[in-house]
């Protein structure tokens, strides 16, 4: 065994093989792999050598060794009389511990916890290291824990209804008694569910648009009921049960984007955008619902006997943005390895090493792998099987002692002739004594993964009819982006660079940075006369960090804009359509630098 110090340009080495008296290697699904080496050092040759402290500053230097085909870094030295204990950590862990700058990435559709862990590995690799990463479900969306929408009892709030004199219309025609009755039932459900104004307005826009506030059994193809739901798609829904389908509209939705209440409470979508998100009509912009906005407003105002929609203001709770982080835990710094272990622990997943590969995985995926070994309790190399078997419970953990067989943590084994322990097991921890050849192994049953944590909630006043945008400049920015979205003839690398931005129209063939420059210029948020390249946005646009209304995300190769109010999530040339477009889905921010305009 050779120890190597790389504190100076010229590596220092010391061969200690003749002094080694014991070697224990330990690895598992929790913590870092370690190598403990006992050596005979009666003269304290190693302790007093310059190898461990080249510059004589009293601090243990970076010393490495190779053993068992793996690279190890020395982390602890413990001398005692004539012996010396050296504790090494897997070199990959040592590398990951070097990175502790505080970072965070927002959890959004398309950016998972596994992707954040992968990005921590990438950070080290960008500095020249070669660490692999494996996570079978990296691209899979993990389910998020959610609370339930409380519903008030009718007796607590009282039923409401329409005055006989209320002048209400449906698509320009006076409303009849049946239409009033259906709307009364629907809005009373919304009232019981604490639905904010925009959710109720979206509901009425949908009722008017879909079936003119009637509850007919038939419609287009196999659709029916007040919301014209397709029976073939919504097989467990009684489409003509008004209270049932209205409750689903408000609390769950029919497209997977959530119900109208959640969308109204947690986004600034307009009522017609909420109706579109819930219903998923053929009109992607929700214009079919917006066409009946004026009538819908009159229905809601007449039902609640209000003139100002803000009279429906309520105090409620909304979801905060959820971030994956390194650091900012209790205010202290955190390295990448510690962050990975915390992130895995939060959802009961595993983070461990297989050679130079960081593996992030849940127990069930490990357990499904074919067993590496099938061992009998009476096999010659099996020297012990132990477990506790509690009354009324299956065996959850067992211990196994074997000789001259290498079994790796994270694999599976099967045990035979061991009573209730004769099943497939997940290898949880392995302690190998290389001198004796014995390995002590901890076996466990797979544990169920937890859901992604629900975001924190905060109490706010939910405005009945808040304006879609809270800043004139932000509204101008969205307007400029909409113009490009509608007019772009497609993407052109280098397009829009050179000429003065004021001379260009929305129908210019822009690239990512020129389209961003043009839209910001139109909103009065960009001073230069000509377009920047993406690297300039990353280094000098506005101020560092994310903004309240929008964030410019940039690196040396690309730039795009995250939008935090309104129906759109980003303005980007990287998407399913050719050219610069507005999208209602967020993308990963990994590898990009956030910048924002002052006050925005």
Say which CATH number the domain at 435 has. 2.30.300.10
Query: CA gyration radius for the chain?
Result: 32
- At 530 the pLDDT is 96
Query: How far is the C-alpha of 193 from the C-alpha of 296, rounded, in Å?
Result: 19
- At 232 the pLDDT is 84
Name the more confident of 147 and 582: 582
Lowest mean pLDDT among 221-230, 298-307, 455-464: 455-464
CB 27 within 8 A of CB 33: yes
455 part of a folded domain: no
pLDDT over threshold 60, residue 314 = no
pLDDT over threshold 90, residue 34 = yes
Which H, E and C letters describe 119-185, residue by residue?
A: HHHHHHHCCCCCCEEECCCCCCCCCECCCCCCCCCHHHHCCCCCCCCCCCEECCEECCHHHHHHHHH
How much is the average pLDDT of 191-214?
91
Lowest mean pLDDT among 30-44, 57-71, 234-248, 454-468: 454-468
- At 157 the pLDDT is 46
CB 519 within 8 A of CB 484: yes
- At 491 the pLDDT is 95
DSSP designation for 494: T
Q: 308: pLDDT confidence band, cut at 50, 70 and 90?
A: low
Chosen domain end from 444, 460, 488: 444
Same domain, 387 and 521: no
CB 88 within 8 A of CB 35: yes
Lowest mean pLDDT among 367-371, 473-477, 527-531: 473-477
Query: How far is the C-alpha of 137 from the C-alpha of 427, rounded, in Å?
Result: 21
CATH number, domain with residue 568 = 3.90.1720
Same domain, 538 and 429: no
How much is the average pLDDT of 132-154?
71
Look at the chain and report how many structural domains it folds into. 5
Same domain, 74 and 122: no
- At 468 the pLDDT is 41
Query: How far, in whole angstroms, is CA 118 from its chain's centroid?
Result: 12
CB 133 within 8 A of CB 118: yes
pTM of the model: 0.58
Residue percentage of the chain with pLDDT more than 70: 91
Residue percentage of the chain with pLDDT more than 90: 60
Q: 396: pLDDT confidence band, cut at 50, 70 and 90?
A: very high
- At 10 the pLDDT is 59
pLDDT digits (tens, 9 = 90+) for 465-518: 443 444 568 878 988 998 899 899 999 999 999 999 999 999 999 999 999 999
- At 579 the pLDDT is 94
Query: How far is the C-alpha of 345 from the C-alpha of 360, rounded, in Å?
Result: 11
442 phi/psi in degrees, rounded to 5: -100, 125
How much is the average pLDDT of 256-260?
87
195 part of a folded domain: yes
Name the more confident of 327 and 21: 21
Strands 424-433 and 382-387: unpaired
Same domain, 112 and 72: no
How much is the average pLDDT of 553-575?
90
> Length of the chain, please?
600
Query: How far is the C-alpha of 159 from the C-alpha of 173, rounded, in Å?
Result: 26
Same domain, 260 and 173: yes
Q: 533: pLDDT confidence band, cut at 50, 70 and 90?
A: very high
CB 22 within 8 A of CB 435: yes
Query: How far is the C-alpha of 577 from the C-alpha of 568, rounded, in Å?
Result: 15
453 part of a folded domain: no
Lowest mean pLDDT among 41-45, 147-151, 249-253, 295-299: 147-151
Lowest mean pLDDT among 152-161, 180-189, 222-231, 427-436: 152-161
86 phi/psi in degrees, rounded to 5: -110, 125
224 part of a folded domain: yes
pLDDT over threshold 60, residue 152 = no
459 phi/psi in degrees, rounded to 5: -85, 125
How much is the average pLDDT of 211-217?
92
Lowest mean pLDDT among 141-150, 178-187, 212-221, 486-495: 141-150
Q: 311: pLDDT confidence band, cut at 50, 70 and 90?
A: low
Write out the H or E segment, with its range, that includes residue 251.
helix 242-251
Same domain, 20 and 66: yes
Same domain, 172 and 114: no
312 part of a folded domain: no
459 part of a folded domain: no
Residues facing 317 on adjacent strands: 459
Same domain, 173 and 135: no
Q: Write out the residue range of the structural domain in which residue 490 sits.
A: 472-596
- Average confidence score pLDDT of the chain: 88
460 part of a folded domain: no
Name the more confident of 262 and 359: 359
Same domain, 28 and 115: no
pLDDT over threshold 90, residue 275 = yes
219 part of a folded domain: yes
Same domain, 220 and 175: yes
Q: 214: pLDDT confidence band, cut at 50, 70 and 90?
A: very high
Same domain, 591 and 494: yes
How much is the average pLDDT of 546-574?
90
Same domain, 180 and 221: yes
Largest separation between any pair of C-alpha atoms in the chain: 104
Q: 426: pLDDT confidence band, cut at 50, 70 and 90?
A: very high
Query: How far is the C-alpha of 79 from the C-alpha of 366, rounded, in Å?
Result: 40
Q: 319: pLDDT confidence band, cut at 50, 70 and 90?
A: low
């Amino acid at each position: 065994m050779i120890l190597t110090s790389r504190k100076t340009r010229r590596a220092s080495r010391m061969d200690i093989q003749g002094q080694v008296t014991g070697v224990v290697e330990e690895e598992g699904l929790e913590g870092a792999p370690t190598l403990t080496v006992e050596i005979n050092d009666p003269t304290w040759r190693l302790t007093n050598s310059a190898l461990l402290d080249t510059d004589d500053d009293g601090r243990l230097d970076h010393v490495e060794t190779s053993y068992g085909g793996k690279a190890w870094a020395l982390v602890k030295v413990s001398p005692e009389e004539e012996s010396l204990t050296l504790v090494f950590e897997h070199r990959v862990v040592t590398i990951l511990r070097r990175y502790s700058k505080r970072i965070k990435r927002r959890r959004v559709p398309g950016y998972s916890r596994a992707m954040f862990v992968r990005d921590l590995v990438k950070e080290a690799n960008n500095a020249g290291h070669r660490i692999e990463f494996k996570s079978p479900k990296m691209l899979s969306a993990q389910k998020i824990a959610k609370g339930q929408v409380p519903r008030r009892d009718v007796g607590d709030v009282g039923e409401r209804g329409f005055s006989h004199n209320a002048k209400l219309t449906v698509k320009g025609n006076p409303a009849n008694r049946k239409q009033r009755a259906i709307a009364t039932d629907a809005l009373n459900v919304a009232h019981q569910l604490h639905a904010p104004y925009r959710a109720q307005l979206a509901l009425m826009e949908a009722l008017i648009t879909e079936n003119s506030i009637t509850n007919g059994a038939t419609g287009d193809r196999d659709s029916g009921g007040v919301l014209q739901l397709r029976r073939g798609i919504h097989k467990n829904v009684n489409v003509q049960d008004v209270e049932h389908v209205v409750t689903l509209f408000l609390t769950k939705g029919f497209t997977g984007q959530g119900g109208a209440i959640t969308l109204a409470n947690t986004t600034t979508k307009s009522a017609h955008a909420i109706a579109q998100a819930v219903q998923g009509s053929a009109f992607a912009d929700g214009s079919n619902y917006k066409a009946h906005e004026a009538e819908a407003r009159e229905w809601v105002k007449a039902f609640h006997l209000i003139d100002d929609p803000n009279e429906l203001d309520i105090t409620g709770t909304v979801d905060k943005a959820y971030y994956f982080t390194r650091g900012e835990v209790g205010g202290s710094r955190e390295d990448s390895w510690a962050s990975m272990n915390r992130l895995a622990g939060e959802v009961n997943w595993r983070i461990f090493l297989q050679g130079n590969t960081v593996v992030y995985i849940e127990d069930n995926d490990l357990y499904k792998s074919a067993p590496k070994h099938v061992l009998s309790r009476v096999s010659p190399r099996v020297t012990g099987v132990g477990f506790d078997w509690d009354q009324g419970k299956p065996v959850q953990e067992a211990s196994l002692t074997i000789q001259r067989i290498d079994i790796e943590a994270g694999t599976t084994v099967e045990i035979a002739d061991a009573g209730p322990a004769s099943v497939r097991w997940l290898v949880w921890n392995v302690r190998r004594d290389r001198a004796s050849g014995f390995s002590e192994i901890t076996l466990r049953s797979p544990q169920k993964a937890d859901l992604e944590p629900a975001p924190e909630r905060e109490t706010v006043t939910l405005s009945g009819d808040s304006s879609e945008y809270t800043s004139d400049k932000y509204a101008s920015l969205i307007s400029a982006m909409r113009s490009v979205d509608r007019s772009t003839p497609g993407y052109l690398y280098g397009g829009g660079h050179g000429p003065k931005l004021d001379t260009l129209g929305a129908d210019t063939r822009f690239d990512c940075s020129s389209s961003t420059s043009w839209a910001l210029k139109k909103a009065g948020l960009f001073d230069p006369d000509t377009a920047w390249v993406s690297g300039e946005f990353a280094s000098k646009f506005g101020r560092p960090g994310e903004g309240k209304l929008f964030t410019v995300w940039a690196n040396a190769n690309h730039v795009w804009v995250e939008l935090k109010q309104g129906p759109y999530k980003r303005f980007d040339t990287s998407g399913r359509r050719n050219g610069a477009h507005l999208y209602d889905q967020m993308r990963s921010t990994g590898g990009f630098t956030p910048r924002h305009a002052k006050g925005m």
